[in-house]
Amino acid sequence: MAGLYALAYLTDAFIPTSIPLMFGFMMFAWVWFSRGIIRFIVRSYVQAGIPKKRIAIYGAGNAGQQVAATLTRSNEHLPIFFIDDNPSLSGQNIGGIDVYLPETALKCFAKLRIDEILIALPSVGRSRKSEIVKFLEPAHLKITEIPGLTKLVDGEIRVSDIQEVDIIDLLGRDPVPPVAELLEKNIKDKVVMVTGAGGSIGSELCRQIIKNQPQKLVIYELTEFALYSIDKELRLASNVEIVPILGTVLDQAKLERIIEQYAVQTVYHAAAYKHVPLVECNPIAGLKNNAIGTAFSLNAAVKNGVETFVLISTDKAVRPTNVMGASKRMAELYCQAMAEAQDQTQISIVRFGNVLGSSGSVVPLFKQQIAKGGPITVTHPDVTRFFMTIPEASQLVIQAGALGHGGDVFLLDMGEPVRIQDLARQMIALSGLKVREADSQDGDIEIQYSGLRPGEKLYEELLIDVDNTEVTQHSRILRSYEKMYPLDELLQVFERFNELTAVRSDIDWALSQLEHYVDGYQRGKEVKVN
């Protein structure tokens, strides 16, 4: 183009002024067009051998239509049809996609070569979603879902947002919104301390606490990396002052110094050993950390005038068959006795079952086993457990602590117990796979039964005395009144506990005390000297 201009001005040749402009435009258009053609050819060639995933979308409403549009624009997914419960939509075509009733869809999955079912019902409750998942199980297709309403409202839904169905949805119980006043009562503008702050429950407690604007949060943890991780996370999430303390709950002097130095007003005691087989093999270590650690933490709190002390307990403390559960019941008894002996510190105990996603939970284990092609290991065909999400459990712990009067044992309503075998089967179904029964070669993933582990029960309980319970102002929290022992009597036992070593005579004495004080406990054959 510059050459044409030069030729026009330096010679007598007549070249219209528009010629260079037209030439430049045509060259630009050619370059742009040719690059587009080349890109299209290359992309078509690369993707020629990658078939698009054929998707059935459950829900033909606004959310489903947004998802369908997003999938249509993608290179990896292709929406084939909608599934919707509304009879008036049956047979209609929305945006070029047919709508089927669920019963009709079940017959079409194989015929239309559907690879995956995507649930596009962001506002539906857990009970309804659980029903949908169970209805779709015979299809043996992977089931996914879209995120909540927020992203849909913001128009931010992306293919990458599609996720696996949350396992909690299989439990069929909707959470109860927290009571704001109860969440804030022991936290807002107060100095709060969490022991075991790096654990599954402790770390979530910290996350919930900083949402309620404490003056300061002291995080106390034995494991260096766990403390580092939660400290870093909390600092990024909030401007609340975080004080990380590396220490053990078996150091009462340090606990006293920390509580006094930072003028702690509320303590949530979550530090504990919780893995049943490990504690069964290390009974003295488990007893000291769970029972003595609680006693030392409470002693330090009472000595320094802490307003509220909340012990995080477990359903395994009720008629336990293992040292872990018995040690937690001893911790409960000490808290009850201390609550009776003084009135300056309000002491509460919160007891609940398994939480989904915690360390040692069956859910991540089952996911790993499914990813490897199985088998899934379940201890016993009839074993059942209570389940709750970590955030829900943590919120209820905070609210229960705010309801206490002193020495209260609070029970969190965990819903109906879940049979672990059923949980495993549903997780296999959500992955689009089929259970391979013991006497059959048909199916993908086998469920193997390994037998109950040392100290493990077929089912857990939340109540020692069913008759002595009452409701509270929160629909998911019950108050229980249970057998107690005087503090003077327990102090002698705990002093001796603290002196024990892992020799047979000490273990025998410790287990005899557990059998005496803990209703239902009888030592197992698997208790070892480690």
- In 262-292, which ranges are continuous DSSP H helix? 276-281, 283-287
132, 165, 198 — which closes off a domain? 165
Identify whether 67 is part of a domain.
yes
d(CA 1, CA 23): 7
Q: How many residues does the chain have?
A: 530
Residue 46, pLDDT score: 46
Handedness of CA 517, 518, 520, 524 (dihedral sign): negative
Most confidently modeled range among 22-26, 109-113, 265-269, 470-474:
265-269
The answer to whether residues 280 and 320 touch, using CB atoms and an 8 Å cutoff, is no
501 has a pLDDT exceeding 50: yes
Residue 506, pLDDT score: 93
Residue 149, pLDDT score: 47
Q: When comparing pLDDT for 389 and 293, which is higher?
A: 293
Residues 70 and 213 in one domain: no
DSSP 289: I
207 has a pLDDT exceeding 90: yes
d(CA 279, CA 424): 26
CA angle 493, 498, 504 (to 5 degrees): 90
The answer to whether residues 309 and 352 touch, using CB atoms and an 8 Å cutoff, is no
d(CA 333, CA 486): 9
Identify whether 453 is part of a domain.
no
The answer to whether residues 314 and 325 touch, using CB atoms and an 8 Å cutoff, is yes
Q: Mean per-residue pLDDT for 341-357?
A: 83
Residues 194 and 74 in one domain: no
Residues 403 and 497 in one domain: yes
Q: What is the CATH number of the domain that holds 113?
A: 3.40.50.720
Identify whether 492 is part of a domain.
yes
Strand pairing category for 53-58 and 477-480: unpaired
Residue 10, pLDDT score: 56
Instruction: For the chain, give the mean pLDDT.
Output: 83
469 has a pLDDT exceeding 60: yes
503 has a pLDDT exceeding 50: yes
Identify whether 129 is part of a domain.
yes
Residue 454, pLDDT score: 66
CA angle 168, 173, 175 (to 5 degrees): 85
Q: CA–CA distance from 56 to each of 33, 53, 91, 94, 378 (Å)? A: 36, 10, 15, 13, 32
Residues 150 and 296 in one domain: no
Residue 500, pLDDT score: 93
E strand or H helix that includes residue 53: strand 53-58
pLDDT > 70 in the chain, percent: 80
Residues 27 and 58 in one domain: no
Radius of gyration of the chain (CA): 31
Q: CA–CA distance from 304 to each of 14, 192, 294, 300, 357 (Å)? A: 100, 14, 16, 6, 35
- Taking residue 117's Cβ as centre, other Cβ atoms within 10 Å add up to 24
Q: Which of 39-43, 221-225, 244-248, 508-512 has the lowest mean pLDDT?
A: 39-43
Identify whether 308 is part of a domain.
yes
DSSP 434: -
Q: Mean per-residue pLDDT for 426-451?
A: 82
Residues 160 and 219 in one domain: no
Residues 95 and 222 in one domain: no
Structural domains in the chain (count): 3
Q: When comparing pLDDT for 131 and 412, which is higher?
A: 131
Q: Which of 14-23, 68-77, 464-473 has the lowest mean pLDDT?
A: 14-23
Identify whether 136 is part of a domain.
yes
**Conformation bin of residue 59: beta by default, left when phi > 0, alpha when psi is -120 to 50:** left
Shortest CA distance to 251 belongs to which of 299, 210, 285, 284? Answer: 299
What domain range includes position 139? 53-165
509 has a pLDDT exceeding 90: yes
Strand pairing category for 477-480 and 469-471: antiparallel
d(CA 441, CA 299): 60
Q: When comparing pLDDT for 469 and 83, which is higher?
A: 83
The answer to whether residues 164 and 430 touch, using CB atoms and an 8 Å cutoff, is yes
Identify whether 275 is part of a domain.
yes
Residues 251 and 215 in one domain: yes
249 has a pLDDT exceeding 50: yes
Residues 15 and 110 in one domain: no
Residue 302, pLDDT score: 97
133 has a pLDDT exceeding 80: yes
195 has a pLDDT exceeding 90: yes
Tell me the per-residue pLDDT of 23-78, one tens digit each, with 9 for 90 and over.
666 766 767 777 767 765 655 554 445 578 899 999 998 888 888 888 888 777 88
14 has a pLDDT exceeding 60: no
* pTM of the entire predicted model: 0.74
Residue 513, pLDDT score: 97
> Which 3 state secondary structure label does DSSP give 350?
strand
Q: Which of 149-153, 177-181, 424-428 has the lowest mean pLDDT?
A: 149-153
Residue 175, pLDDT score: 67
Residues 298 and 405 in one domain: yes
Q: When comparing pLDDT for 502 and 188, which is higher?
A: 188
Residues 118 and 254 in one domain: no
151 has a pLDDT exceeding 50: no
416 has a pLDDT exceeding 80: no
Identify whether 410 is part of a domain.
yes
- Which residues are catalytic, by number? 316
Q: Which of 150-164, 302-316, 321-335 has the lowest mean pLDDT?
A: 150-164
Residue 464 pLDDT class (50, 70, 90 cuts): very low
pLDDT > 90 in the chain, percent: 41
Strand pairing category for 142-145 and 116-119: parallel
Q: When comparing pLDDT for 311 and 69, which is higher?
A: 311
351 has a pLDDT exceeding 80: yes
347 has a pLDDT exceeding 70: yes
2 has a pLDDT exceeding 70: no
> Which 3 state secondary structure label does DSSP give 376?
strand
518 has a pLDDT exceeding 50: yes
Q: CA–CA distance from 106 to each of 117, 140, 239, 305 (Å)? A: 11, 10, 52, 64
Would you call 27 exposed, middle or buried from its count of C-beta atoms within 10 A (0-12, 13-18, 19+)? Answer: exposed
DSSP characters for 121-181? -TT--HHHHHHHHHHHGGG--EEEE---HHHHHHT---GGG-EEPPGGGGG--PPPPP-HH
160 has a pLDDT exceeding 90: no
Residues 399 and 511 in one domain: yes
